[in-house]
Amino acid sequence: MSQKFFYHRRTLAARLTKLITQVAVGSAAASGVFLTAPRRTGKSTFAREDLRPALEEAGAIVLYADLWKDPTTEPGAVIVETVREAIGRDEKLMSRLAIAPGLEAVSVGRLKFNVNKIGIGKEIGLTKAFEALSDEVKKLIVLIIDETQQAITTDEGVAALFALKAARDELNSSKHYGLRIVCIGSNQNKLAMLRNSSDEAFFGAPMVQLPLLDKDFVDWYCKWLDLPNNLDPSDVFQLFQESGYRPEIISAAADGIRLDPTDDPKAILVRFAELVRAQVAALNANLKMVIHSLTPIQSAVIRVMGAKGESFAPYESSTMELYAKATESTGVAPSEPIIEVEDVQLALMALLEKKLVWKTSRGVYTIEEQIVVDMLRDDGLLESLA
């Protein structure tokens, strides 16, 4: 695709590249770097189109694993497959691994190596695989993991993160050429679970809030928009802010104009604004519909979860009392049976299926997106539940 169809943030990419590759005294970047921004605001495009090229220009070998590319695939398997693909592209490296002690892979006339031997609990673990890759390329390796928080939703994903920690510690020793792990996510609270505790794989790694796309992006966007009449970037920027800084929403509005063109410049702006606001309203309306369709106990659980935030503990006695309080406020008679732990478990399962709630492999629950908490608060449903 032509470069004009991507808005590049090269200054930001250069600054992050320096943070990732040039570890200074007092920096924790060697432990990993965490980048976060709200969903659908361009962080993955930035990672692929700006950060990755900048890291490569700085001399690093860059691997990229998107844990949301296929939601049906185990997150740990995605990480392992990314390493396998990197090694599979290098015949010399595969030959080296094929003759590694304890591995037999000889065929007529040549050596063969099956990359499936690489993995957690396999003949070649991730540390050995990264060691071989590092020693072969003799360059810093950077692994970018998009939507990293998904890794802690499964035991295999957690195991992969700890395997990466071991590989990182080994490759950052003086024997090799270095390994940096860049973790990207759309929910800062979820990402923080990977770095806030001393028993997590990336304890102490720095968290960087990516800046949202700004007026410069909108100026560039309007320049290449190719509508019958030009839109004023100042007007579009205001609408872009209303859309939550999500490029997809204003792009869909532009498509709506193309399907229903008009020669009146003022009419184009009015119609564009209507389309943007209609999409935002539709997104919120769909989410509200899901929230208002919850059963009383499901509603009580998500409301208490939203009110308690990071301190939410689903089965503590004080939390159980709050469920009862929240249920009564929905109009359910106090004479209803007392809420039991099994009721909460079933409610949490239902909320997970509706994608309103997210759960780690350790049983920690949090609300999927901040917008859900904001809606509950705006409707007065979190009052007196903290």
- Are 236 and 222 within 8 A, CB to CB? yes
> Tell me: the pLDDT tens digits for 182-199?
999 998 889 989 988 777
Stretch among 95-99, 217-221, 307-311, 380-384 having the lowest mean pLDDT: 95-99
pLDDT value of residue 100: 60
Cα gap 39→19, rounded to integer Å: 23
pLDDT value of residue 297: 95
- Are 147 and 68 within 8 A, CB to CB? yes
**CA 381 centroid distance within chain:** 28
User: Could you tell me which residues come within 8 angstroms of residue 133 by beta carbon, excluding any fewer than 6 positions away?
Assistant: 61, 83, 86, 87, 90, 93, 141
CA distances 322 to 126, 222, 307, Å, are 45, 50, 10
- H or E segment and range at residue 142: strand 141-146
- pLDDT band at residue 337 using 50, 70 and 90 as cut-offs: low
Would you say residue 365 has pLDDT above 70?
Answer: yes
For the chain, what percent of residues have pLDDT higher than 70?
Answer: 90
- pLDDT band at residue 55 using 50, 70 and 90 as cut-offs: very high
- pLDDT band at residue 330 using 50, 70 and 90 as cut-offs: low
Which token pair is 351? 């909320």
Would you say residue 107 has pLDDT above 60?
Answer: no
pLDDT value of residue 109: 37
Would you say residue 177 has pLDDT above 90?
Answer: yes
Q: What mean pLDDT comes out for the span 255-264?
A: 80
Stretch among 27-36, 45-54, 83-92, 109-118 having the lowest mean pLDDT: 109-118
Would you say residue 105 has pLDDT above 60?
Answer: no
pLDDT value of residue 4: 61
Q: What mean pLDDT comes out for the span 64-82?
A: 94
Q: What mean pLDDT comes out for the span 137-144?
A: 95
Residue 317 dihedral angles phi and psi, to the nearest 5°: -60, -40
Would you say residue 62 has pLDDT above 90?
Answer: yes
Q: Measured in Å, how far apart are the chain's first and last C-alpha atoms?
A: 50
H helices of 260-369, where? 265-292, 296-308, 317-328, 341-353
pLDDT value of residue 108: 33
pLDDT value of residue 268: 87
pLDDT value of residue 110: 44
pLDDT value of residue 263: 65
Average per-residue pLDDT in the chain? Answer: 88
7: three-class secondary structure by DSSP: coil
- pLDDT band at residue 239 using 50, 70 and 90 as cut-offs: very high
- pLDDT band at residue 336 using 50, 70 and 90 as cut-offs: low
Would you say residue 340 has pLDDT above 60?
Answer: yes
> Tell me: the pLDDT tens digits for 270-324?
999 999 999 999 988 999 999 999 999 999 999 999 999 989 999 999 999 999 9
pLDDT value of residue 90: 77
pLDDT value of residue 112: 61
Would you say residue 243 has pLDDT above 60?
Answer: yes
Reference 92, options 75, 79, 110; nearest CA is 110
Q: What mean pLDDT comes out for the span 129-137?
A: 91
Q: What mean pLDDT comes out for the span 157-169?
A: 94
pLDDT value of residue 115: 82
Would you say residue 372 has pLDDT above 90?
Answer: yes
Would you say residue 225 has pLDDT above 90?
Answer: no
pLDDT value of residue 246: 95
- pLDDT band at residue 332 using 50, 70 and 90 as cut-offs: low
